[in-house]
Structure 1
Amino acid sequence: MARRAGSADLPLHGGRVPRWLGERMTRLGAVVSEAIILHYGRDELLHRLAHPFWFQSFGAVMGMDWHSSGVTTSVIGALKRGLAPLAGELGVHVCGGRGRQSRLTPPELIAIGDRVGFDGAALAQASRLVAKVDSAAVQDGFDLYLHGFVVTDDGRWTVVQQGMNGGSRQARRYHWLSEGLKDFVDQPHAAIEGPRRGEIVNLTDRRAEASRRGQLELLRALPPEKIVAELSRLEPAAAAPREQAQPLLPHLVMPAHHDVRPGDVNIRRLHGALAAAAERGPTDFRELLLVPGVGARTVEALAMVAEVVHGAPCRFSDPARFSLAHGGKDRQPFPVPLKVYDQTIDVLKSAVRKAKLGREDELGAIRRLDEQARRAERYATGPSLEAFVAEERRRSPDYGGRSVFGWEPPAEDASAA
């Protein structure tokens, strides 16, 4: 059965993912997923996707708006496109999506089940139940509009779905994992992500079991008009003080501000990644660095991608830090450096391709880059966040910097403007 793994609260953010970024997100999302499966197996990919902090960091390292609700839609879409051609090889399938696509999840699951051999009808029922729980059993003011269902050939799955509260301009993301839970309506979530807004009716809380039982008994014993009369008598008691709610599962709350600020980044971890790139890069990437276009900046980005592949859950408490690998489409913290982004993808694809043939040197080098970053945190120093971002913006034209506002002009053009 499933369990709810965690949640996230995210500010609503308008706009669409431009094609030039969407295509790269598709390729990077697929190759990172491949690397995780090669190292740790398919179940680990499901565990990662069910963790709200990792999921947000994954979207940030792809160049999406690091704090916004759009991360959910874009990551699910990128994985659906990127993993579809690899489904036969990896045994991982992504169903559903936003709006109309979410309603197509059950028939997609049935079709995949017929093809690979799991019980698609049972998983289609699970998909409907998960959506019902987060829209009816948990009444928190967020209306579901996205439902992504990631399933493996052996029938294990993760659900990532998101609701919107237009009045508060917030979105809430709900994470489910098909491992470790025995009941869809008793503490099922792996995570719920989002800010707390007013009273929340959560009938999936274990403490609500008596309430669930009582509701069924009430429906059997009393006609609807009698229930309404009883409710009106109880209304004054609703204002009485309530017991403080217990802490929820892993719960990520992203700030409303769009710019990346020092408080959003664990600077010690950033300095560790930069030091690892400087120290490990020339050793492990000697041949690679001879390839035109691959330089120190690409190795810095790879150090952050390596953490997404190998990092423990506690490493993702500051998702904003991962936006420093490839920037953001809205020029926050800086424009997307397309030359660096493309080289990151090429390096990872080369490493994964060779690892499948038994040559794991490059993939091992990326893992060692992450290990070195953790060791370097103990002693590394480096620029402040403001200085790092300023240097990235200064060099953005050299890196092929691009955002939804266009290409970054050369320095002389920028000063003339």
Structure 2
Amino acid sequence: MKRSGTADLPLHGGRVPAWLAARMTELGGAITESIVLDYGPAEFLIRLSDPFWFQAFGSVMGMDWHSSGITTSVMGALKRSLNTRFNDLGLFVCGGRGRHSTRTPEELRSLSLNTGLDGDSLARTSRLTARVDNNAIKDGFQLYLHSFVVTRTGDWAVIQQGMNSDNRTARRYHWHSASVRDFVSDPHTAIVGRSQGTILNLADSRATRAREAILSVSREPVDRSLQEARKLVMPAHHDVRAENIDLKRLGAVLAVAHEQELRDFVSLLLVEGLGPRTLQSLALIAEVVHGAPSRFSDPARFSFAHGGKDGHPFPVPLKTYDESLGILRRSLTAARVGDTTKLDAFKRLDRLTRQVEQDREPLADFTEALAHERTISASHGGRTVFDDQRAKSPSNRKAQLDLFSD
């Protein structure tokens, strides 16, 4: 069953700093490996094809929780982390932003030489998905990013994004090979972007007659209708607010992380003496790995794992980030030699959090939680892109804020 949805993705300027990009590469690879070990590479493609999960994935990695930059940074991190491990994980990322997008067919053919995949067929698929979204759908967005993820069995997912420079918004398009039956009739897993009113979409099943007129071909109308679209409305405001988050779900995470009895129980599962701040991050990582699709309706909540590079909802806590990543990496290393005890603990952590949410219905005090994070930020190595820029040019603060704000 296909998923479809819309979301407002404001365009943001700037670059991901090296200190965050390196960590995103590590954490993105570790989360992907966890999913592959438990559910297989095909399941990872399903996750990528869900715009809600994708946004949560980027948020838990420390990127801006709602901006268009999540797409570029997440796919770049995955390309760096997965391609060198294709033999282990069975996933390969081609393409990227700008000039890298045009190299996708060449990269797919090169991959096919070593894998036996049909490189010509995959290259044709790459071109078709790009042409449909850039040419058949007249919605005012010009593609500038095209990423093609393929497994060793030939299953694939495409994540591509277009820009509307007039209103400074982006639209992300999701494709999944398991969902595509006809490239010119409802092929998308999802189209993500702000509603712009009536658009021309010649890939919509309801555009059959328009395609017939254009192609001068007699066809029977497609006998199916669109599913009601899932709507992910990403607001223009840069800060994270209480209305962006399911406070009951966040409350369960905070309870597991900060209440002594629950924290002691989870510490025994993972690492004795585990601190509450790291446990909070691990609980949200565990949900990204093991959570059901319905759990990602509020992707802003996952920014409470590692904050955001722009300081929203709080600076990236580097010490916590590194400790969480270290625990996950050690668990994966042990699992590769047959000891799945620690990795299985992440499943139990996810189940415990959901059980607390169901039984106790805790409601997070958003203002208090946010104030606490900002109070402890310095002690956890909190850092933002503005810290880097202040060190270079303290007098240019206003220009820096304008660069990263809409």
Structure 1-normalised TM-score?
Answer: 0.87
SS of the residue corresponding to residue 93 of structure 2 reads strand
1:274 aligns with 2:254: yes
The answer on whether the counterparts of 2:56 and 2:299 sit within 8 Å (CA) in structure 1 is: yes
Number of the residue aligned with 2:383: 402
Separation of aligned partners in 1, 2:108 and 2:52: 27
Deviation at 1:114, TM superposition (A): 1.1
**Structure-1 residue corresponding to 2:104:** 105
User: What corresponds to 1:96 in structure 2?
Assistant: 95
> How do residues 42-121 of structure 1 correspond to structure 2 at under 5 angstroms?
42-121=41-120
Which among 342, 349, 374 is matched to residue 369 of structure 1? Answer: 349
CA contact (8 A) 1:192 1:250 kept: no
Runs of 4+ in 1 over 6 A off after TM superposition: none
Cα–Cα, structure 1 residues 356 and 258, in superposed 2: closer, same or farther, change >3 Å? Answer: same
Give ranges in structure 1 of 5+ residues lacking alignment: 219-244, 410-417
Report deviation, 1:214: 1.6
State the distance in 2 between where 1:93 and 1:405 align.
Answer: 33
**Alignment match of 1:387 (pick from 368, 392, 397):** 368
Q: Distance in 1 between matches of 2:321 and 2:141?
A: 35
TM-aligned CA deviation for residue 10 of structure 1: 0.4
For the pair 1:314 / 2:287, whether they are aligned, the reply is no
Confirm or deny that 1:303 pairs with 2:283: yes
- Aligned pairs for 1:19-30 within 5 A: 19-30=18-29
Please give the alpha-carbon distance, in whole angstroms, between the structure 1 residues aligned to 2:235 and 2:363: 26
What amino acid does structure 2 have at the position aligned with 1:391? Answer: H
- Using the TM superposition, give the Cα deviation of residue 381 of structure 1 relative to its aligned residue in structure 2, in angstroms: 2.9
Per the TM alignment, residue 253 of structure 1 is displaced from its structure 2 partner at its CA by 2.5
Shift of 1:210: 1.8
Structure with larger Rg: 1
Q: Which runs of 5+ in 2 are unaligned?
A: 218-224, 391-406
> What's the counterpart of residue 145 of structure 1?
144
In structure 2, relative to structure 1, the CA distance for the partners of 1:158 and 1:331 (3 Å cut) is: same
Secondary structure of the corresponding residue to residue 20 of structure 1:
helix
3-state SS, counterpart of residue 380 of structure 2 = coil
Distance 1:179 1:65, change over 3 A: same
Change (3 A) 1:79 1:326: same
Q: Residue 252 of structure 2 contacts residue 353 of structure 2 at CA under 8 Å; is this kept in 1?
A: yes
CA deviation after TM superposition for structure 1 residue 197, in Å: 1.1
1:187–1:204: 8 Å Cα contact kept in structure 2? yes
Is the 8 Å Cα contact of residues 6 and 175 (structure 1) preserved in structure 2? no
Determine the structure 1 residue equivalent to 2:204. Answer: 205
How far residue 274 of structure 1 moved from its aligned partner, in angstroms, is 1.8
Question: Equivalents in 2 of 1:62, 1:365: separation in Å?
Answer: 20
The whole-number CA distance in structure 2 between the counterparts of 1:246 and 1:36 is 30
Larger deviation: 125-134 or 84-93?
84-93
Give the match for residue 233 of structure 1. none
Deviations 1:173-225 (A, max 9, x none): 0000000321111100000111111330011111211221121128xxxxxxx
Distance 1:402 1:327 in 2: 9
CA distance in 2, matches of 1:289, 1:401: 23
In the TM superposition, residue 282 of structure 1 has moved relative to its aligned partner by: 2.0
3-state DSSP of counterpart to 1:406: helix
| TM-score using structure 2 length | 0.89
Q: Does the CA contact (< 8 Å) of 1:87 and 1:93 recur in 2? A: yes
Deviates most, 197-206 or 41-50: 197-206
Aligned to 1:179: 178
Q: Does 1:14 align with 2:23?
A: no
Distance 2:130 2:289 in 1: 29
Take 2:363 and 2:378, find their aligned partners in 1: how far apart are those partners?
A: 23
Indicate the residue corresponding to 1:240 in structure 2: none
| Superposition deviation, residue 380 in structure 1 | 4.4
Please give the alpha-carbon distance, in whole angstroms, between the structure 1 residues aligned to 2:186 and 2:285: 33
Counterpart contact for 2:248–2:364, Cα < 8 Å: no
Maintained 8 Å contact 2:10/2:67: yes
Deviations 1:251-290 (A, max 9, x none): 4221100111110000000111122334544224338545
Q: Distance in 2 between matches of 1:71 and 1:199?
A: 27
Task: Determine the C-alpha separation between the residues in 1 that align with 2:108 and 2:382.
Answer: 40
Residues 93-143 of structure 1: CA distance to partner in whole angstroms, max 9, x if unpaired?
011100000001000001111111110110000000000000111110000
Change (3 A) 1:276 1:297: same
Please give the per-residue CA displacement for 1:56-79, whole angstroms capped at 9, x wherever unaligned: 000000000001000000000000
1:107 and 1:115 map into 2 onto residues whose CA distance is 13
1:286 partnered with 2:268: yes
CA shift, 1:367, in A, is 0.8
> What is the number of equivalent residue pairs in this alignment?
380
User: In the alignment, is the contact (CA less than 8 A) between 1:4 and 1:188 conserved in 2?
Assistant: no
**Matched position secondary structure for 1:332:** coil
Equivalence map 1:253-264=2 (5 Å): 253-264=233-244
| RMSD of aligned residue pairs (Cα, Å) | 2.1
**Counterpart-to-counterpart distance in 1, 2:84 and 2:227:** 41
What's the counterpart of residue 37 of structure 1?
36
Q: Which digits, 9 at most, give the CA deviation of each residue in 1:35-54, with x for residues without a partner?
A: 00011111110000000000
Q: Which amino acid aligns with 1:86?
A: R
Contact 2:8 2:232 in 1 (8 A): yes
The within-5 A match list for 1:239-250 is: 249-250=229-230
Written as runs of structure 1 = structure 2, the 5 A alignment for 1:330-369 is 330-369=310-349
